[in-house]
Amino acid sequence: MYLRSHPVLFALLAATRGRGVRRLGRTVLVHDAGAYREALTRLPLDRTAAGTTGGAAREALAGAGAPGGGVLFDQEGSGHRADRRGLAGGLGAAGVEELRTLWRPLLERRLAPLAHGGEVDLAALARELSGTVVCALLDSPADPAEVARACAEAASASIRSHLPGPPRPGAAARAAETARTLRALLSPTGVGAPDACPVAGRSGGAAARAAEGQGWDGALAAMVAVAAVNTSVAAVPRAAAWCADAGWWGQAADPRVLPRLVDELLRVTAASPVLPRVAAADGRVGGCPVRAGDRLLLVARHAAGAHRRDPDALDPAVAADARLVFGAGPHACPGARLARAQLADVLAALAPYRPRVVRARVDRRAALPGWRVLTVRAAS
């Protein structure tokens, strides 16, 4: 899947993973768990530099007419802490339980065809599920399917405008266009929203109230939406497919084992497998000298051992290493709790059907490696 989605990048990462840290010109590839932590927690990083997540987000939104900065990924200090506190209202324990009241009935409805010999596309389900969650988190009146589509297009356009190699004509304009579309969808007027959105105002209220209290603008809401949708759409179908291939539905049905299974599947699927960063000052990572301006490719899936250790809920990896797929330090992903709860509920809902994969197609345009189609059918 990795090679089909981004063949050059992941071929390079596979070829260089024999050493924990490797320099190629002004690029430093970081595969080792300790060096990965060190880069995220001890090395000053330029979060607005071109080629980084924050830089790509800032550039796309600036092209869309949004004020520069303030999109979480490009922040440091008090602004970053304030926006994370705003997110905590919806992504903490209470907020996630609110969101569960939305996605559990959705899962029951969408998986019902499996009981009668029908088929279900788990990639499409993940898109609807993630769009529903985002609309609830942001108290948006938009159509969840439209939001999920817009988030996928925004992420894909932004990533493609920053891939290594010669500039792609029109890539920056396309990224700005998709950012404008997404911001319009998430605006209070809900451009493109249905007459009666099933999620706006129903749940996720804690996040919406916190966001309002922190003065979130459309730019920050758009970035939250892009991150939530694309990581969910990448991770959920892949984890379900692994369960189907390995025959782990019995583990998914066991509430004592399920949390460990979820952690292991999130570790090996590593929805954001590579974190692009830029050093803001001279330093060292894993013993390798780093100069200000050096580009860092932090390989989360290698740091978490996904390339050498298959998931095993009965003998899981060390928790500290498994959590590296969510980053480390003050910029670790604030949606980790949501991701675990969502995947746990999806697997538990699938378990009674013991589904098998009957059709799969890689999404070659997605920002993160994932399936465009993953169709399953209940075991006969």
Answer whether 96's CB lies under 8 Å from 247's CB: no
Q: 């899962």: which residue's tokens?
A: 107
Please report which confidence band the pLDDT of residue 214 belongs to, taking 50, 70 and 90 as the band edges.
very low
Q: Where are the beta strands (DSSP E) in 145-216?
A: none
Q: How far apart are CA 331 and CA 42, in angstroms?
A: 12
pLDDT tops 50 at residue 206: no
User: Tokens 């604030």 correspond to what residue?
Assistant: 334
Mean pLDDT of 260-282: 93
Specify the pTM: 0.84
pLDDT value of residue 133: 94
pLDDT category of residue 184 using cuts at 50, 70 and 90: confident
- Please state, as a whole number, how many other Cβ atoms lie within 10 Å of the Cβ of residue 93: 10
Across 22-31, 41-50, 65-74, the highest mean pLDDT is recorded for: 22-31
Q: Is 379 helix (H, G, I), strand (E, B) or coil?
A: coil
